[in-house]
């Protein structure tokens, strides 16, 4: 079985900045028909369960570890949970062959355990809206909650889902507010709008969710958002030198929660390794020398061999292309009619590059050099 990759570690997406501006573009957003503020068409989980409590009254829920390894809380004992799969015939075709992302869980006291898996579970089912009507997706959540959990935990889950849908609806409205066209190109204005969008989004979450649910659902995402904004601000500082900026960026990175900090450090190490390999390729005296140096820096012999082969091919192409250009220059001064000159040029390309792939490279190179 496989998991739907859209929801895996959403806070580390490369579109983190777009997420801040758009009220988090990483979330699944219900379509217009499901997010309008009209009381006749606005859908809530409470439409399927009349016993749901008002917002911000999740008394008795258990907050699990907000992320793996969170030192502040120990993981509560799970007494019951929703199944791992919908079986061979899920209610939506896009879910076929997938495990359910996340889970609804209850502790030994019958209280809902709220953590990131709770949000992932909601997202998994809400991702099908558009493929199936919203009420169908919500009914699936409700049915699994009441079939798998004690009644108290099931009610708590539906209450939080109701709040989650309310949050998504309001976040959609928030992201529709336009920027000032006259200032969109101003970097200072862009940074100001990023900070404002982030602050308003956090405030919206705080107004809808209890502190425990807010932290469980969005703690990592907001921590990474703060780090991203801090690094953007550092990059714009003209009163700091390169070393000072690097030191402060490291300090901000060290403030990240452990899983984010580790992943960010791995990403930076990977980027540094990539830059070093590019420098080797660009400065090596030969393709063979580049391959050998790459192996010395940790690249596998197989990958280094592929790089060597490519560099060799590019070198041969460059030499052939230079000869082609000389021949074409002579052709331009031959006095041939345009149609005959074009025919001769094509023959020259095929003569210098018997391989069709290299002929395509040559034509593209000629177009870019004109």
Question: pLDDT of 84-118, one tens digit each?
Answer: 999 999 999 999 999 999 999 999 999 999 999 99
Cβ atoms of 46 and 158 within 8 Å: the answer is: yes
- The pLDDT assigned to 32 comes to 34
Q: Are residues 125 and 211 in the same domain?
A: yes
Distances (CA, A) of 167 to 147, 214, 224: 26, 11, 20
Q: Are residues 275 and 288 in the same domain?
A: no
Q: Are residues 274 and 288 in the same domain?
A: no
- The pLDDT assigned to 44 comes to 53
DSSP result, 124-189 = HHHTTBTTB-HHHHHHHHHHHHHHHS-HHHHHHHHHHHHHHHHHHHHHHHHHTSPP-GGGTT-HHH
Prediction pTM value? 0.61
Chain position carrying tokens 């990759």: 5
- The pLDDT assigned to 45 comes to 57
Domain assignment of residue 164, yes or no: yes
Domain assignment of residue 46, yes or no: yes
Q: Are residues 322 and 341 in the same domain?
A: yes
Q: How, if at all, do strands 105-106 and 62-63 pair?
A: unpaired
- The pLDDT assigned to 63 comes to 67
Q: How far apart are CA 289 and CA 57, in angstroms?
A: 67
Q: Are residues 62 and 137 in the same domain?
A: yes
Q: Are residues 164 and 308 in the same domain?
A: no
Domain assignment of residue 192, yes or no: no
Going by C-alpha positions, the residue among 45, 217, 30 that lies closest to residue 118 is 217
Domain assignment of residue 339, yes or no: yes
Q: Are residues 30 and 179 in the same domain?
A: yes
Convert the pLDDT of each residue in 249-305 to its tens digit.
888 888 888 878 888 888 877 788 888 888 888 888 888 988 898 898 888 999 888
Count the neighbouring beta carbons within 10 Å of the beta carbon of residue 61: 23
For the chain, residues with pLDDT lower than 70 are 1-60, 62-74, 369-370
- The pLDDT assigned to 72 comes to 52
Domain assignment of residue 190, yes or no: no
Q: Could you tell me which residues are beta bridge partners of residue 62?
A: 113
Distances (CA, A) of 240 to 229, 244, 326: 17, 6, 51
- The pLDDT assigned to 229 comes to 93
Residue 195: is it exposed, middle or buried by C-beta count within 10 angstroms (0-12/13-18/19+)?
A: middle
Domain assignment of residue 149, yes or no: yes
- The pLDDT assigned to 65 comes to 54
Cβ atoms of 16 and 228 within 8 Å: the answer is: yes
Chain position carrying tokens 């000072």: 244
- The pLDDT assigned to 5 comes to 41
Domain assignment of residue 228, yes or no: no
The domain tally of the chain equals: 3
Q: How far apart are CA 151 and CA 110, in angstroms?
A: 8
Domain span at 261: 237-279
Domain boundary among 279, 300, 331: 279
Q: Are residues 66 and 110 in the same domain?
A: yes
- The pLDDT assigned to 43 comes to 52
Q: Determine the angle formed by the axes of helices 116-126 and 151-175, rounding to 10 degrees.
A: 70
- The pLDDT assigned to 283 comes to 87
Domain assignment of residue 257, yes or no: yes
| Residue 281 CB partners (closer than 8 Å, separation 6+) | 290, 294, 307, 311
Q: Are residues 261 and 204 in the same domain?
A: no
Q: Are residues 16 and 103 in the same domain?
A: yes
- The pLDDT assigned to 85 comes to 94
**Helix/strand/coil for 286:** coil
**Helix/strand/coil for 62:** strand
CA 340: distance to chain centroid? 53
- The pLDDT assigned to 149 comes to 97
Q: Are residues 80 and 163 in the same domain?
A: yes
Q: Are residues 204 and 311 in the same domain?
A: no
């Amino acid at each position: 079985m496989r998991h739907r990759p859209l929801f895996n570690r959403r806070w580390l997406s490369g579109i983190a900045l777009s997420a801040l501006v758009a009220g988090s573009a990483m979330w699944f957003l219900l379509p217009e028909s499901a997010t309008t503020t009209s009381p006749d068409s606005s859908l809530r989980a409470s439409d399927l369960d009349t016993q749901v409590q008002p917002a911000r009254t999740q008394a008795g829920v258990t907050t699990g570890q907000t992320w793996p390894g969170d030192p502040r809380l120990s993981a509560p004992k799970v007494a019951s949970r929703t199944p791992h799969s919908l079986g061979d015939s899920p209610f939506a075709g896009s879910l076929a062959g997938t495990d359910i992302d996340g889970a609804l869980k209850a502790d030994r006291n019958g209280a809902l355990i709220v953590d990131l898996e709770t949000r992932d579970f909601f997202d998994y089912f809400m991702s099908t809206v558009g493929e199936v009507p919203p009420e169908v997706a919500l009914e699936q959540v409700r049915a699994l909650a009441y079939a798998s959990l004690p009644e108290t935990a099931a009610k708590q889950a539906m209450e939080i889902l109701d709040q989650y849908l309310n949050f998504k609806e309001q976040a959609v409205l928030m992201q529709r507010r336009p920027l000032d066209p006259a200032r969109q190109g101003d970097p200072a204005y862009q940074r100001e709008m990023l900070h404002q969008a982030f602050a308003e989004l956090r405030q919206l979450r705080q107004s809808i969710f209890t502190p425990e649910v807010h932290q469980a659902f969005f703690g990592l995402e907001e921590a990474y958002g703060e780090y991203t904004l801090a690094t953007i601000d550092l990059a714009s500082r003209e009163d700091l030198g390169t070393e000072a900026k690097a030191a402060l960026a490291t300090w901000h990175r060290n403030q990240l929660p452990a899983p984010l900090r580790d992943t960010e450090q791995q990403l930076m190490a990977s980027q540094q390794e990539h830059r070093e390999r590019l420098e080797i390729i660009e400065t090596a005296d030969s393709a063979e020398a580049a391959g050998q140096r790459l192996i010395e820096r940790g690249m596998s012999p197989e990958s280094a061999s592929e790089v060597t082969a490519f560099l060799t091919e590019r070198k041969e192409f460059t030499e052939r292309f230079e000869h082609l250009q000389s021949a074409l220059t002579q052709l331009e001064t031959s006095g041939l009619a345009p149609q005959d000159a074009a025919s001769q040029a094509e023959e020259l390309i095929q003569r210098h590059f018997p391989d069709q792939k290299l002929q395509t490279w040559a034509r593209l190179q000629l177009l870019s050099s004109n």
